[in-house]
Structure 1
Amino acid sequence: MRIEPTELADVLVLVPEPFRDERGLFTRTFDAEEFEAELGVPGAAASFRQDSQSRSTRGVIRGMHGRSGRGEAKLVRCANGAVHDVLVDIRPSSPSFGRQQAFLLDDNEFRHLYVPPGFLHGFQALTATADVCYRIDRPHDPTEDIGVAYDDPDLAITWPLPVTVVSARDRAAGSWQQLITRAQ
């Protein structure tokens, strides 16, 4: 497994190296020792507490979601299909504060993201169905949910497909300006 830095401070792309033969393929999707060595934090892999999975259809957008308080770290991967995954750094003291980066996550390359606390996260399903798996470092607490509208003009996220479905919660999410005003 290779681990690559990104344009966003502290975000990593984990790149499994599948073995393919006439049967199909086999790949290791996570290696605690390599992950901890890259982070320089012994025991970091053991901090993950909850696994979740979502299934979306082509054009669906989920996001942009984050957590208040101490936030949450997560590993995100697409187990089936493909998604256009977007992160926005919301850490005021970060050198990449306010910047965004998009990633293709799919069931062919098996790339997945390590997202430290302090990011908004969202994605758009690119295939008929897309299953996204999340491994987070603490149980979900709905009272800490924060969000910015997927179509916020200040973020100006470019989604690759026409939007088909967005939840009522995501449509009602606040603006980037509201979020950064609360953070100050």
Structure 2
Amino acid sequence: MRIEESTLAGVVTLVPTPFHDERGLFTRTFDAQIFDDWAGVPGAAAAFLQDSQSRSGRGVIRGMHGRGGRGEAKLVRCANGAVHDVLVDARPSSPTFGRQESFLLDDDDFRHLYVPPGLLHGFQALTEVADVCYRIDRPHDPTEDLGVAYDDPDLRIHWPLPAGVVSARDRSAGSWAQLVRQLR
């Protein structure tokens, strides 16, 4: 497993090395020691305490979501299918504040995306079925939910497919400009 830096401060992808043979493949999808070495904090991987999974159909967009307060770190991977995953840096003190980056997460290379606290996260399913797994470092507190519309004109997020199903919550999310005022 190797770790690749992103253009967003503190964001990395963890890329496993699948072993292929006549039976199929085997891969280690997470290695706490490698994560701890990258973080420079023994036991950093142990902070992840909740696993969740979503299943979405082609074109579905989930996002853009984040957490207020002390935020929420997460590891995200696509266990089945493929997604176009997007992060927006919503940390006012970050050198990459307001910037975004997208990632292809799929069941071919099994890469994980490490999302540090303070970033907005969303994705669009690219395949008929996409299962996304989240490993989260704190319990969900709905009173800290943050959201920005997936189609916010200031962010101009590129979604590769026409928008499919979008939840009522995501359709009614606020704007990037509103969130910036709230955060500052």
Give the TM-score range, shorter chain.
over 0.9
CA distance in 2, matches of 1:152, 1:84: 17
TM superposition outliers: structure 1 runs of 4+ over 6 Å: none
The question of 1:179 aligning with 2:179 is answered: yes
CA distance in 2, matches of 1:162, 1:154: 19
Letter matched to residue 141 of structure 2:
D
Output aligned runs, 1:60-139, within 5 Å.
60-139=60-139
Give the percent of matched residue pairs that are identical in Structure 1 and Structure 2.
Answer: 79
Output aligned runs, 1:12-23, within 5 Å.
12-23=12-23
Compute the displacement of 1:172 (Å). 0.5
Letter matched to residue 112 of structure 1:
H
Query: What corresponds to 1:59 in structure 2?
Result: 59
Letter matched to residue 158 of structure 1:
H
CA distance in 2, matches of 1:43, 1:145: 27
Query: TM-score if structure 2 supplies the norm length?
Result: 0.99
CA distance in 2, matches of 1:164, 1:11: 28
Query: What corresponds to 1:48 in structure 2?
Result: 48
Residue aligned with 1:103, SS: strand
Number of residue pairs the alignment of both structures matches: 184
Compute the displacement of 1:42 (Å). 1.2
Residue aligned with 2:37, SS: helix
Query: What corresponds to 2:152 in structure 1?
Result: 152
CA distance in 1, matches of 2:103, 2:131: 15
Letter matched to residue 108 of structure 2:
N
Compute the displacement of 1:143 (Å). 0.8
Query: What corresponds to 2:163 in structure 1?
Result: 163
Residue aligned with 2:169, SS: helix
Query: TM-score if structure 1 supplies the norm length?
Result: 0.99
CA RMSD of aligned residues (A): 0.4
Residue aligned with 2:34, SS: helix
CA distance in 1, matches of 2:143, 2:183: 16
CA distance in 1, matches of 2:141, 2:166: 21
Question: How big is each residue's C-alpha offset from its partner over 1:27-64, in whole Å with a ceiling of 9 and x where there is no partner?
Answer: 00000000010111111111111000000000000000
CA distance in 2, matches of 1:164, 1:2: 34
Structure 2, gaps ≥5 residues long = none
